[in-house]
Structure 1
Amino acid sequence: MFPAKYAPALFGLILSGLMSLLVSGISTLRAVGLVDGFAGLWISAWLSAWLVAFPVVLVVAPLTRRAVARLTANQP
Protein backbone atom coordinates (compact mmCIF):
# COMPACT_ATOMS: atom_id res chain seq x y z
CA MET A 1 0.00 0.00 0.00
CA PHE A 2 1.27 3.47 -0.87
CA PRO A 3 0.95 6.54 1.37
CA ALA A 4 -1.82 8.95 0.32
CA LYS A 5 0.70 11.66 -0.58
CA TYR A 6 1.68 9.58 -3.63
CA ALA A 7 -1.90 9.37 -4.94
CA PRO A 8 -1.52 12.01 -7.70
CA ALA A 9 1.66 10.43 -9.07
CA LEU A 10 0.20 6.92 -8.86
CA PHE A 11 -2.97 8.11 -10.59
CA GLY A 12 -0.84 9.66 -13.35
CA LEU A 13 1.26 6.52 -13.70
CA ILE A 14 -1.77 4.24 -14.07
CA LEU A 15 -3.76 6.61 -16.28
CA SER A 16 -0.86 7.33 -18.63
CA GLY A 17 0.05 3.66 -18.77
CA LEU A 18 -3.43 2.50 -19.70
CA MET A 19 -4.15 5.28 -22.16
CA SER A 20 -0.79 4.97 -23.93
CA LEU A 21 -1.23 1.17 -24.04
CA LEU A 22 -4.61 1.49 -25.76
CA VAL A 23 -3.64 4.29 -28.15
CA SER A 24 -0.34 2.70 -29.15
CA GLY A 25 -2.09 -0.63 -29.72
CA ILE A 26 -4.69 0.91 -32.00
CA SER A 27 -2.08 2.99 -33.84
CA THR A 28 0.25 0.02 -34.30
CA LEU A 29 -2.59 -2.18 -35.52
CA ARG A 30 -3.69 0.42 -38.06
CA ALA A 31 -0.13 1.05 -39.22
CA VAL A 32 1.07 -2.54 -39.71
CA GLY A 33 -1.95 -4.81 -39.25
CA LEU A 34 -1.85 -8.11 -37.38
CA VAL A 35 1.59 -9.18 -38.58
CA ASP A 36 4.06 -11.59 -37.04
CA GLY A 37 5.81 -9.74 -34.25
CA PHE A 38 2.88 -7.40 -33.65
CA ALA A 39 3.15 -7.75 -29.88
CA GLY A 40 6.80 -6.69 -29.91
CA LEU A 41 6.05 -3.69 -32.11
CA TRP A 42 3.16 -2.72 -29.85
CA ILE A 43 5.20 -2.98 -26.64
CA SER A 44 8.00 -0.96 -28.16
CA ALA A 45 5.57 1.76 -29.27
CA TRP A 46 3.84 1.67 -25.89
CA LEU A 47 7.01 2.11 -23.85
CA SER A 48 8.08 5.05 -26.00
CA ALA A 49 4.63 6.63 -25.66
CA TRP A 50 4.53 6.02 -21.90
CA LEU A 51 7.87 7.77 -21.42
CA VAL A 52 6.24 10.91 -22.84
CA ALA A 53 2.71 10.40 -21.49
CA PHE A 54 3.57 10.03 -17.79
CA PRO A 55 5.35 13.37 -17.32
CA VAL A 56 2.77 15.10 -19.50
CA VAL A 57 -0.06 13.76 -17.33
CA LEU A 58 1.72 14.96 -14.18
CA VAL A 59 1.91 18.48 -15.62
CA VAL A 60 -1.47 18.61 -17.38
CA ALA A 61 -3.67 16.95 -14.73
CA PRO A 62 -3.56 19.87 -12.23
CA LEU A 63 -4.26 22.35 -15.03
CA THR A 64 -7.19 20.22 -16.18
CA ARG A 65 -8.58 19.97 -12.65
CA ARG A 66 -8.50 23.77 -12.35
CA ALA A 67 -10.19 24.20 -15.74
CA VAL A 68 -12.92 21.72 -14.80
CA ALA A 69 -13.45 23.48 -11.45
CA ARG A 70 -13.95 26.79 -13.26
CA LEU A 71 -16.29 25.26 -15.84
CA THR A 72 -18.56 23.55 -13.31
CA ALA A 73 -20.93 25.11 -10.82
CA ASN A 74 -20.58 24.56 -7.10
CA GLN A 75 -23.82 23.18 -5.71
CA PRO A 76 -24.72 23.87 -2.06
Structure 2
Amino acid sequence: YKVQDYIDQGYFGTTQPSQTFLARVGNVLILPEPNETVWWHEYSKFAMHFAGHHGGLTPAEMEIPLFVLPG
Protein backbone atom coordinates (compact mmCIF):
# COMPACT_ATOMS: atom_id res chain seq x y z
CA TYR A 1 0.00 0.00 0.00
CA LYS A 2 1.15 3.59 -0.52
CA VAL A 3 1.70 5.43 2.75
CA GLN A 4 0.27 8.64 1.28
CA ASP A 5 -3.06 6.86 0.72
CA TYR A 6 -3.20 5.97 4.43
CA ILE A 7 -2.20 9.52 5.42
CA ASP A 8 -5.02 10.86 3.22
CA GLN A 9 -7.49 8.45 4.88
CA GLY A 10 -6.51 9.59 8.38
CA TYR A 11 -4.85 6.38 9.59
CA PHE A 12 -1.97 8.41 11.08
CA GLY A 13 -4.17 11.05 12.71
CA THR A 14 -6.42 13.88 11.67
CA THR A 15 -3.62 16.42 11.18
CA GLN A 16 -0.69 16.38 8.77
CA PRO A 17 2.02 14.02 10.13
CA SER A 18 5.23 15.62 11.37
CA GLN A 19 8.34 15.92 9.22
CA THR A 20 10.07 13.44 11.56
CA PHE A 21 7.37 10.86 10.89
CA LEU A 22 7.44 11.48 7.14
CA ALA A 23 11.24 11.16 7.06
CA ARG A 24 11.10 7.76 8.78
CA VAL A 25 7.98 6.11 7.40
CA GLY A 26 9.05 5.64 3.78
CA ASN A 27 6.50 5.39 0.99
CA VAL A 28 5.25 1.81 1.15
CA LEU A 29 3.16 0.25 3.92
CA ILE A 30 3.27 -3.54 4.25
CA LEU A 31 0.64 -5.06 6.52
CA PRO A 32 1.02 -8.78 7.26
CA GLU A 33 -1.96 -11.01 7.88
CA PRO A 34 -2.69 -11.75 11.57
CA ASN A 35 -0.01 -13.96 13.18
CA GLU A 36 2.24 -13.62 10.11
CA THR A 37 5.47 -11.77 9.33
CA VAL A 38 6.78 -10.33 6.09
CA TRP A 39 10.17 -11.05 4.59
CA TRP A 40 11.20 -9.22 1.43
CA HIS A 41 14.17 -10.70 -0.35
CA GLU A 42 15.20 -10.41 -3.97
CA TYR A 43 18.48 -12.26 -4.27
CA SER A 44 19.42 -10.43 -7.46
CA LYS A 45 19.08 -7.03 -5.71
CA PHE A 46 20.85 -7.52 -2.39
CA ALA A 47 22.46 -10.07 -0.14
CA MET A 48 20.60 -10.73 3.07
CA HIS A 49 22.56 -11.32 6.25
CA PHE A 50 19.97 -11.78 8.97
CA ALA A 51 21.44 -11.01 12.37
CA GLY A 52 18.27 -10.50 14.39
CA HIS A 53 15.14 -8.45 14.64
CA HIS A 54 15.01 -4.68 15.18
CA GLY A 55 16.58 -3.87 18.50
CA GLY A 56 18.74 -0.75 18.53
CA LEU A 57 19.39 1.13 21.76
CA THR A 58 19.57 4.66 20.35
CA PRO A 59 16.70 7.05 21.11
CA ALA A 60 15.81 7.12 17.40
CA GLU A 61 15.22 3.36 17.49
CA MET A 62 13.64 3.07 20.94
CA GLU A 63 11.27 6.05 20.74
CA ILE A 64 9.01 4.84 17.97
CA PRO A 65 5.41 5.73 17.12
CA LEU A 66 2.56 3.63 18.51
CA PHE A 67 -0.44 3.24 16.23
CA VAL A 68 -3.77 1.95 17.50
CA LEU A 69 -6.67 1.43 15.13
CA PRO A 70 -10.18 1.04 16.51
CA GLY A 71 -11.28 -2.52 15.96
TM range (shorter): under 0.3
Q: 1 or 2 for the larger relative contact order (CA 8 Å, sep ≥6)?
A: 1
Larger proportion of helix: 1
Largest Rg, 1 or 2: 1
